[in-house]
Structure 1
Amino acid sequence: MSLPSSDLPSTGASATTVAPRSKTRPAQPVDRGPVDRDKDAMDAINPPANSWALWRRGLDWPTVVWIGLAHLAALAAPFFFSWQALTAFLVLYVLTGSLGICMGYHRLLTHGSFQTYKPIRWLLAFLGGLSGEGSALTWVANHRKHHKYSDKDGDPHSPRHGKWWSHMFWFMPNRGLKWNEELLKRYAPDMLKDKGMLVLHKLFLPSHLFLGVVLYAVGYFGTGLGMGGHWYGCSMLIWGLALRMVYVMHVTWLINSATHLWGYRTYETTDDSKNLWWVALLAFGEGWHNNHHAYQRIASAGHKWYEIDMTYWFILAMEKTGLAWNVVRLRDIPKGTPPA
C-alpha cells in the first residue's frame, strides 16, 4: 500500500532537517507552494498589531459574536451542573484539545511531526474544529505565520504587542477578506489542495450545531444514563459544548501568551518562548514551548524525563498500532543543529 506523505510549505523559520525514519518508503519531495515574500507585501495593507489604527478598521464581527456567545453560555454552567455533563466536558476536552488541537492541528497539520492516513488526518481536523478555534485552514496558517515571525513584527499574537492582545484580542480586528485569503495562500497552500480540509472549513459552524443537538438529545432522552428532560438536555449542552469550548480556548491561548512571558528556557531561541509547567499540564504537553520553538518538527514537546507530554503518548499509541509513522524524534536531529 502506498502511504501518503506530509507536505509542508516553507514558513521562513529555521526549519529542522530530519532524516525519514521509515525503511519502507523513501523521502518524498515537498511541495512548498509559492515562493514566500517579504512580510510587508502582505501586512502593509493593515496597520501595526494592536494599534489604534488597526482597531479603527472595526471588528471581525462573526468571530467576536461566536466567541462572545460561547462565553455568555458558559456563565450558565454552575446552574446546570450534573455529573453526566462533567463527564461529557472531560471527554470532549481530551478529544478536541489533545487529539484535535495539539495532535491534529499543531503537530500533524502545521509541522508534519508524523504521518498518518488521510481519513485520520480529516478526523483529527474535525475534532480540532470542534474546539471552536476556527477551521484547520485558518488555524494552521496563523500558526505557521507565528513561527516565521515569532515575537517580531508580523507575529499574529506576540505579548510584545500586549499581554491580552496575545491571549485573545489578536483575532478580533477586521483585517479584510483580501488579507485572510492571502494568509491561506501563503501559509497553507498544501491545505488548500486537500478537498477534505476545504469541506471541513465550510462545515465549521454546522458541525457545532450538530454536536449541540446530539448533546441535548443525549441529556433529554438519556433515561438509561440517569438523565431525562429539558434540564439535563441544557446541562449536557452547556457543559459539553459552551463551557468546554471556552476552557479549551483559554488553555490554548495561554500558549500564545503565558509561555512567551514566564517560565524557563532550555534552548537559546531567537524569540521569547519558554517552558511553563502548569500550561503544559493544562494543554496536554504544549506548554513546553521553548522546546517546541527550538525544534519545531519534533513530535514530543517534552525533551526532559519530567516534562510530561500526554499528546505525545497518543502519537506513540498510534505508531504502535500502525496508524502513524515517520514520527520525528529528538534523536533524529543531526548533532550540532542550532535551535530556531
Structure 2
Amino acid sequence: MILIVFFLLHWYFSLFCQSFFLHRYAAHQMFYMSKFWERFFYIFTWVTQGSSYLSPRAYAILHRMHHAYSDTPKDPHSPHHTENLFTMMWKTKNIYNDYFSFRLKPEERFSKDVPDWNKFDKIADSMMARVSWGIFYALIYILCISVFELPGTHWWMYFLLPIHFLMGPVHGAIVNWSGHKYGYANFDNNDKSKNSLLLDVLMLGELFQNNHHKLPNRPNFAVKWYEFDPTYPVVKLLHATGIIKLRTA
C-alpha cells in the first residue's frame, strides 16, 4: 500500500506542477507571481518531476507553438501528424531539446516573457541529476519490496518504476494524444481538440483540451456545469493567499 501511495503522490504532485506552473503560468501567464515564488516553483517542479524534469522555458515555447499550429504539420505534438503515440513523443522530445539547448531560436511570440532560469535548468537537466532521481525511486521500491517486505507490497510493483522515470513525458503524452483524439467537443476550434473526461480528476483538468483551445487564457479549464477542473480551486486558493495574482481578478 505504501508504494501505491508513493506512486499517487508522485503522479499528482508532478502533474500539478506541469498544469499549474509550466502550463498555466509559464506558457499562458494566467497569473502573476513574485520572483521568489517563481524560483520556489522551479525547484518544486524539479522535486516533483525528478528524473523527467521539464524546463519551464522550453515547455512554454512548445506549448505556445501547439496553440498557434494546433493539429497542423507545424504542431510539435499532434497525434494526427505522427504514426503513433511513441513517434509523437519522440518528435516532441527532439523539438524540446532543440529549444532547450538553444539550437533553435523561437519566434518572439513564442518566447516573450517566458520564465527563464538557465543555470538551474542546466543542473536539473543534467544526466547526474536525472540518474540520481532514478536511483532514488528504485531504492524506495527495493527497500519496501525486497529488503523490508512491507505489507501490501508485491514484485509486480517494480513495473511502476518506468512511469516514475518518465513521469513528465507520460503526462504530456496522455494529454496530447487523448486530448486531440478522443472525447467530445463543446466548441468548434478548427482543430481536433477534445474533452476526454467529464470530471478530469485523473489529469487535473488537462484533458479539457477543447475548452482550453477555445479559451486559452481562462484559468478554469472546465466550462459546462458538469465539468470540474481540480487545479482551478488550488489556483483560487493561491490567489487568495497572495502567492499568485490572477490576471482576470
TM-score of the pair, normalised by structure 1: 0.58
What are the residue-to-residue correspondences of 1:258-297 with 2, within 5 Å?
Answer: 258-277=178-197, 280-297=200-217
Matches within 5 A, 1:6-17: none
Partners in 2 of 1:252 and 1:175 — Cα distance?
A: 12
**Identical aligned residues as a percent:** 22
Q: Any unmatched runs of 5+ in structure 2?
A: none
5+ residue gaps in structure 1? Answer: 1-82, 330-340
Give 1:293 shift. Answer: 0.5
Separation of aligned partners in 2, 1:227 and 1:84: 10
How far is 1:170 from its partner? 1.9
Are 2:72 and 2:81, in contact at CA under 8 Å, matched by a contact in 1?
A: no
> How far apart are residue 297 of structure 1 and its match?
1.0
Matched residue, 2:26? 109
TM superposition shift of 1:314 = 1.4
Alignment partners' CA distance in 1, 2:97 and 2:27: 24
Describe the shift of the 1:319–1:177 C-alpha distance in structure 2 as closer, same or farther (beyond 3 A).
closer
Task: Choose from 99, 113, 121 the match for 1:190.
Answer: 113
Distance of aligned partners of 1:299 and 1:239 in 2 relative to their CA distance in 1, 3 Å threshold: farther
The aligned residue for residue 15 of structure 2 is 97
* CA deviations over 1:89-128 (Å, ceiling 9, x no partner): 1112121111x10101000110011122223223333344
Q: 1:301 to 1:213 in 2, by over 3 A?
A: same
Cα distance in structure 2, aligned partners of 1:298 and 1:175: 25
Deviations 1:159-208 (A, max 9, x none): 2213525742323558995895334564325347x3xx212310223444
What corresponds to 1:305 in structure 2?
225
Q: How does 1:107-256 map to 2 (within 5 A)?
A: 107-129=24-46, 130=49, 132=52, 134-162=54-82, 164=84, 167-171=88-92, 181-184=103-106, 186=108, 187-191=110-114, 194=116, 197-203=117-123, 204-205=125-126, 206-212=128-134, 229=147, 242-246=162-166, 249-256=169-176
Instruction: Give the match's secondary structure for 1:115.
Output: strand
- The structural deviation recorded for 1:216 is 6.2
What aligned pairs does 1:77-92 form with structure 2 within 5 A after superposition? 83-92=1-10
Residues 310 and 157 of structure 1: is their aligned pair in 2 closer, same or farther, counting only changes over 3 Å? Answer: same
Q: In structure 2, what residue type is equivalent to 1:312?
A: Y
What are the superposed Cα offsets for residues 33-84 of structure 1, whole Å, 9 maximum, x if unpaired? xxxxxxxxxxxxxxxxxxxxxxxxxxxxxxxxxxxxxxxxxxxxxxxxxx22
- Contact 1:108–1:114, Cα closer than 8 Å, also in 2: yes
Alignment of 1:29-40 (within 5 A): none
Deviation string 1:246-300 (CA, Å, 9 cap, x unpaired) is 4553333122122112222212212221111079332111111111111111111
The answer on whether the counterparts of 2:179 and 2:195 sit within 8 Å (CA) in structure 1 is: yes
Structure 2 counterpart of 1:97, one-letter code:
L
Conserved? CA contact 2:163–2:170, under 8 Å: no
In 2, the alpha carbon distance for the partners of 1:231 and 1:200 equals 38
TM-score normalised according to structure 2 size: 0.77
User: How many Å apart are 1:145 and its aligned residue?
Assistant: 0.9
Q: Distance in 2 between matches of 1:241 and 1:120?
A: 31
Q: Is contact 2:62–2:76 with CA below 8 Å preserved after alignment?
A: yes
The number of aligned residues is 236
1:102 counterpart letter in structure 2: S
Select between 111-120 and 273-282 the one with higher mean Cα deviation.
273-282
**1:328 equivalent in structure 2:** 248
